[in-house]
Structure 1
Amino acid sequence: MSPALAQSTISFGYWGDPPELPPFEEIVSKYQAAHPDVKIEIQHAPWSGYFTRLDAQLAAGAGPDVFFITNVPSYASRGALAPLDDLIKASSFPIDQYVPSSLLTHSFEGKLYSIPRDSAPSALYYNSDAFDAAGVAYPNADWKWADLRDAAIKLTTTEGGRITRYGLALESNDWATWVQQNGGKVFDDPLKPTTFLLAEPAAVEAIQYIGDLINKDKVAPNFLEAEQAGGTAQLFSSGQAAMVITNPSRLGTFADVPFKWAVANLPGGPTGIHSNRTGGAGFAINANSKNPEAAWAFLQYLAGPEGQSIFAGAKAAAVPAMTGNETVRAAFKAPFGDVFLKEADVGEQFPQFPRFVDLSNLYIQPALDLVWNGESTAADAIGGIKDKVNAELAK
């Protein structure tokens, strides 16, 4: 063991619901067993509070040495992350075994700042028992939006004028997938945008489709209602939603629910376009780490074949980003793994540039909320911010 690593203490920050935590815990346990002179302090938080705490820590020049991260450009642009390229080259870390598009998501201005854990595609989970009771055919590879809507209508149940089960529950951060499935885009370039395209007809139509599922058809809860009910996972687990579109980590969450369920590919858009998201979350080193050597040593295990195999083989499976490694590929034996791998193949880059979070918080999300809440049409809400967002991009 290197003397520099002796008596080292590093901290590791990550988010996750209880079913998602075992692989993180296993990785930490195995690493410490193999490196008894390294102590790893855990900083865990649920998704809802993780970034609030992390942002405050980083702003104060603190924070965990190694941490789980998304929206890498936003953090890299303000100097919060350590660049990894020189470390990778010096240690011959097998970065070439990663999906190139995933690496692009974790880069900023030509430098890599995070190593992806997964590609995080979504899929359609459905309650087989509910489908059987309603006499609705199970989802298949030929489904399009119209089929999804029709099934959601038939699966929604009411009692005394109150909805007792929604046909569908949606994740609030997946709206761009629908835009892609309709042949639209959010920006002309997801990494270096010059033009805002969400107000174009194809994108507007996709946003309105979601809004209509919520407010016109009333087959899906609005996102605030879903959050107050405990989130989409809770809605599906409790039988309050017959279908949910979410990621592979929910395989573990739904393992013990009291009904039969399965997973299908996402329905295609009206013209048959199949699209999903790519990139997933990754692991970065704090630019202010007091133990960068120990942090990099741990990150190599965490993001290398050993750690990737543990994540790939976990009950709450993560579709691995290190698909060029046969050991990792062999470890991915999750239920419906073929569905998720197929969805990963049609993954597209979501908007990922330093100012996206600010533009989203200031303009895009408030406009979308008007649609989700039934206060405006997509055309009016998004059309109302088009010039403002383009003006910001021109600065």
Structure 2
Amino acid sequence: MFTRKRSVLSLIVCFVMLFTLLTGCSQNAPAPTQPAAAEPEKVEPVTLVWSYWGDPWEIEINKKIAAKYEETHQNIKIEQQYAPWSSYFEKLETQWAGGTSPDVMFLTNVPSYAEKGVLADMGTLTKENNYNMDDYYPESLKLFQYEGKLYGVPRDNDTKVLFYNKKLFDDAKLPYPDKSLTWDSLITTASQLTKRDGTGRASQYGLAFDPNTWFLYIWMNNAQFLDDYDKPTKVLFEDPKAIEALQNMGDLINKHKCAPSYELIKDSSQISQMFMANQIAMVVGNHALIPSFIQTKDLSWDVAYLPTMNGNPKKNIMGGAGYTMSSMSRHPKEAYEFWAYVTGPEAQKMFVDSKLIVPANKAVLNSDEFLKQSYNAQVFVDETAEGQSYPTTSKFSQLWMTSNQYFEGIWTGEKRADAVVKEAMPELTKIITE
């Protein structure tokens, strides 16, 4: 009996010792390690410089675009470099000479800067990133091409339309202009809408236009003024159709007397002021006139198509300033992403809200945001499709300014167009050939 009890007791002691041993080992053993939580990837802050010129309304919209982009790109800071037109390009030239540059730039005359090597090849970048180039008219991209490469895209188009004062048409019991308008019927209508007092002084004109857009009227008469708009070798003002178009413009002022004098229309702001004062019935102009017209009390207006001239195909202007990217950017990936946003639908629609531009992006141009207006916005869409690009040659600016000086004689009525062209040709030819 005693032996059995001792055996049981020994067994219990063994169990207690074993339990103690196991418990002690468990307490002294290191706790199993848990895998460390992955640290969030560190994103370095990036500052991008965006340069542009523009009116106060453009500055405000650009600020909104930058702020909107920063909201969804926490590591990106957009530093805006504004300069007025008068000093904008000089500032860029100074930066480039010093080896620095804004990352994204609003530019015009792009081929001349691409030639200097300061712009990134956007054709390659857009292909690599599947950017939708189908959103642009090929004609509108010509101003951003150099030696077969693309260096940017336009923000807007300088499309011209015919603004007309509905009240003045109603008072004269005349039908509003439509697609059937020709140059001859335009003259007839403008003459009917011109009023003069007993002294012969005009109190109301039928039509006004910007004489510095003479190239548009040459195109409307199915003529050209250079043999090649990229690398010209010859000036074509002596083409009878070009001379006729210039004379047609001068005749509106001096023969038909249905347009204001050159002194009144050489300042385009004067034209819009007279239209808003019900002193001009029709004005050839662009979309930038619309905000002022909308805000003018008791001004009833709409837009119509430009006339055709001598049965020739319709023509308009295609082109505008646009966005480029620096070849010197220290952050090319981030710079491209911002460039793509600025040129994309969301940013373009912010400009559309201002009613100041005809968007270059076709998807936005045909969107409800652009088309659903109190005026016939479809006219801008249709006229844009008929656009011809501004010349891409760097010599166009000098040719245009010199031509303007000579052509003043046509607008004042002092000389006929053929005589002015003959007088101007030696100097204009020199500009192109040297």
CA contact (8 A) 2:160 2:284 kept: yes
Structure 1 residues 209-288: aligned runs within 5 Å:
209-222=248-261, 225-226=264-265, 228=267, 230-257=269-296, 258-286=298-326
Q: 2:224 aligns with which of 170, 173, 185?
A: 185
Give the secondary-structure state (helix, strand or coil) at the position aligned to 2:95: coil
Choose from 73, 82, 87 the match for 1:53.
87
Partners of 1:327 and 1:129 lie apart in 2 by 29
TM-score normalised by L of structure 1 = 0.85
Conserved 8 A contact 2:163-2:284: yes
**Secondary structure at 2:206's aligned position in 1?**
coil
Which residue in 2 is equivalent to 1:377?
A: 416
Alignment counterpart, residue 168 of structure 2, candidates 130, 137, 142: 130
Distance 1:365 1:227 in 2: 11
Shift of 1:85: 2.4
Task: Show the counterpart of 1:309.
Answer: 349
Structure-1 separation of matches of 2:417 and 2:43: 57
Q: CA deviation at 1:191?
A: 2.2
Gaps of 5+ in 1: none
CA distance in 1, matches of 2:240, 2:393: 24
Shift of 1:303: 0.4
Distance in 1 (CA, whole Å) between partners of 2:292 and 2:200 is 31
Helix, strand or coil at the partner of 2:358: coil
Moved more, 6-15 or 343-352: 6-15
Equivalent position of 2:21 in the other structure:
none
Which segment drifts farther, 35-44 or 352-361? Answer: 35-44
The alignment status of 1:163 with 2:206, answered yes or no, reads no
The 1:283–1:172 alpha-carbon spacing in structure 2 relative to 1, beyond 3 Å, is farther
1:345 maps to a residue whose letter is A
1:364 to 399, 403, 409: 403
Write the mapping of 1:23-42 to structure 2, written as runs, cut at 5 A. Answer: 23-36=61-74, 37-41=76-80
Map Cα deviations across residues 302-360 of structure 1 (whole Å, 9 max, x no partner). Answer: 1023223333x42415333332x489745432532221111112112232211111222
Q: Contact conserved, 1:58 with 1:80, CA < 8 A, in 2? A: no
For 1:197, the equivalent position in structure 2 comes to: 236
Unaligned runs of 5+ in 2: 1-39
One-letter amino acid matched to 1:248: H
Figure out how many residues of one structure are paired with residues of the other and give that number. Answer: 386
- Greater Cα offset, 136-145 or 363-372: 363-372
Q: Does 1:346 align with 2:386?
A: yes
Specify the SS of the correspondent of 2:420. helix
The aligned counterpart of 1:72 is 110
C-alpha distance in 2 between matches for 1:310 and 1:38: 20
> 1-side partners of 2:293 and 2:321: how far apart?
21
User: Residues 111 and 222 (structure 1 numbering): CA distance in 2 closer, same or farther, change over 3 Å?
Assistant: farther
Native 8 Å contact 1:5 1:294 kept in 2 = no
- For the structure 1 residues 64 and 330, does the alpha-carbon distance in structure 2 shift closer, same or farther, using more than 3 Å as the test? same
After TM superposition, give the deviation of residue 78 of structure 1 in Å. 4.5
Change (3 A) 1:174 1:140: same
Greater alpha carbon shift after TM alignment, 68-77 vs 264-273: 68-77
Instruction: Pick the aligned partner of 2:154 from 105, 108, 116.
Output: 116
1:238-258 per-residue CA deviation (whole Å, 9 max, x = no partner) reads 323221111223333311222
Ranked by relative contact order (alpha carbons within 8 Å, sequence separation 6 or more), the top structure is 1
| 1:228 Cα deviation from its structure 2 partner | 4.8
Tell me how far apart the structure 2 counterparts of residues 328 and 64 of structure 1 sit (CA, whole Å): 32
Helix, strand or coil at the partner of 1:167: strand
Q: Structure 1 pair 334/117, CA: closer, same or farther in 2 (3 Å)? A: farther
Q: Give the C-alpha shift of residue 21 in structure 1.
A: 6.1
| Larger Rg belongs to | 2
Secondary structure class of the residue paired with 2:226: coil
Q: Which region of structure 1 is more displaced relative to structure 2, 178-187 or 70-79?
A: 70-79
- CA change 1:113–1:232 in 2 (3 A) is farther
Give the 3 Å change call, closer, same or farther, for CA 338–3 of structure 1 in structure 2: farther
Q: CA deviation at 1:288?
A: 6.0
Q: Which amino acid aligns with 1:343?
A: E
Question: Conserved in 1, the CA contact under 8 Å of 2:162 and 2:303?
Answer: yes
DSSP-derived class of the 1:284 partner? strand
Offset of 1:124 from its aligned partner? 0.4
Q: How far did residue 42 of structure 1 move?
A: 5.3
- Deviation, 1:64, is 5.4
1:195 positional shift: 2.0
Deviation per CA, 1:200-227: give whole Å up to 9, x if none: 1101111111112123333323555335
RMSD: 3.0
Q: Distance in 1 between matches of 2:263 and 2:144?
A: 30
Q: Do the aligned residues in 2 keep the contact of 1:43 with 1:64 (CA within 8 Å)?
A: no
